[in-house]
Structure 1
Amino acid sequence: MVEESSGQDRRPGIAICAYETDDPVWDFVEDLSGRLWNPPGARTVAVPADEPDALAQSLADCLRRNDCQALLLVGRSSRAPVFRVQMRAEGRTPGEGRRLSRTGPSIARSTAPVADMVRALHEAGLKADASSDAEDDVGSYLLYRLLSELPDSPDAPAIGLLRTPLPADEAVVSKGVKAAASAMARRLSPLPRAAV
């Protein structure tokens, strides 16, 4: 089930998904109002964590809708001591190393504005980098599935994966997610009137 912010407007939607069911990483509702945080110029579409196949389907459905132009996956890094924007993912099942598809590409590259995201994290005072090293987990699986199933189009949605350092507390994680999502949102265009 996808939970959208209330009210209809022409701001483009950016789906944000903290995909780990046992470690939600970040709470989209930050105060007692119950409203979702929104990056400047965009509207957050919160997609709750689920088991990997069902979550991949929910995220793909969200991206197929005309009002959702971007997706930021958020999860912990088992390797990096800093925020890391993962630039690619391999077509393997998490934990097993088995190929997902015999005919699909072996790797898929992120369509998110990686350099802008890393720059925004630095400007927020956070240590961050970008890496092509894929971790063998649900985050890499989701990134690959969504990127490899995208139609070939100049209007393809921006899809990125932000990994947070394992020891980071909720305030630091929140700062990082907001910086990365805001960098992605700056590249999005308002929705046409017909889509609202």
Structure 2
Amino acid sequence: MAELDQTSTDTRPAIVICAWDAGESGWDPVEDLSGEPWNPNGARTVPVPSDAPEALASTLAGHLSDRRTRALLLVGRTRKASGFRLQMRAENRTLDGARADDVGPSIARATAPVGEMVRALNEAGLAAGATSDAEEDAGSYLLYRVLSGLPDDADTPVVGLLRAPENEPDAAVQRAVKTAAQAMARHLAPLPRSRPV
């Protein structure tokens, strides 16, 4: 109950950060012995652990249905590049290549400030670029499912997918995630203050 009270009075918008691969060790949101997750300036992070893609898509959609959650950063690896990649779109495909949604659009575009995130990563000394090429993995599947499931009548949250090179050391992945999340946080307005009932 105390945790709910704390987040309900916190006017910082939440950024959900999720490394979808259970074996991914590069992103650990807790950076010291306090047990508290790292937070960018002006926002708070909500770490979500990996799970089976279907279950994880539902979990992430649930987080984004909370108006206090204004952003989602998916984190994974790429086998197609030697630098960090911000994936700008995902196709309507299941993990085995079939159409995921018969009525959904064929492509969903990330809503994250990709150009600013790429610039921030490069300024931090991390080679990065943006790509429209989707990779056939859980990351692309999750990006599509989350984006295509957003309600039309709500303020669109900032949603992006960051891929690290396959053999990138954990320390560099940590730095890249923090840099990308901070760039996202700059686009988020503080939450309105709760009024007493």
Q: CA deviation at 1:22?
A: 2.1
Q: Residue deviations 1:129-160, cap 9 Å, x none?
A: 00000000000000000001111246110110
Equivalent position of 2:85 in the other structure: 84
CA distance in structure 2 between the aligned counterparts of 1:131 and 1:182, rounded to whole angstroms: 20
Q: Distance in 1 between matches of 2:111 and 2:101?
A: 21
Provide the residue aligned with 1:139 in structure 2: 139
Contact 2:26/2:171 (CA < 8 Å) preserved in 1? no
Question: Would you say the 8 A contact 1:12–1:191 is kept in 2?
Answer: yes
Please give the per-residue CA displacement for 1:155-191, whole angstroms capped at 9, x wherever unaligned.
1101100001111111100110011000000000101
Work out the CA distance in 2 between the residues paired with 1:23 and 1:123: 25
TM-score calculated relative to the size of structure 2: 0.93
Residue 123 (structure 1) shift:
1.1
Aligned-partner residue type, residue 162 of structure 1: L
8 Å CA contact retained: 1:82, 1:129: yes
The answer for the alignment partner of 2:65 in structure 1 is 64
Residue 138 of structure 2 corresponds to residue 148 of structure 1: no
Distance in 2 between the 1:132 and 1:21 partners? 25
Whether the 8 Å CA contact 1:67–1:195 is kept in 2: the answer is no
Distance 1:126 1:195 in 2: 43
Match of 2:14 in 1: 13
RMSD, matched Cα = 1.7
- SS of 2:45's equivalent in the other structure is strand
Q: Does 1:46 align with 2:44?
A: no
- Aligned residue pairs, count: 192
Residue 195 of structure 1, CA deviation = 8.2
SS where residue 168 of structure 1 aligns?
A: coil
Name the SS of the counterpart of 2:90 in structure 1.
strand
Q: Is the 8 A contact 2:17 2:72 kept in 1?
A: yes
Q: Which residue of 2 aligns with 1:187?
A: 187
TM-score with structure 1 length normalisation? 0.93
Amino acid at match of 1:194: S
SS in 2 for 1:194: coil
Shift of 1:23: 2.0
| Segment of structure 1 superposing worse, 19-28 or 39-48 | 19-28
Mapped to 2, the partners of 1:135 and 1:70 lie a distance apart of: 22
Comparing 176-185 with 21-30, greater Cα deviation is found at 21-30
- Paired residues for 1:51-130 under 5 Å: 51-94=52-95, 96-130=96-130
- Note the residue ranges of structure 1 that are not aligned, 5 or more in a row: none
CA distance in 2, matches of 1:28, 1:150: 26
| Residues 73 and 160 in structure 2, CA contact (< 8 A), matched pair in contact too | yes
Contact 1:24–1:49 at 8 Å: present in 2 too? no
Cα separation, 1, equivalents of 2:44 and 2:195: 14
CA contact (8 A) 1:25 1:74 kept: no
Q: Give the residue type in structure 1 aligned to 2:71.
A: A
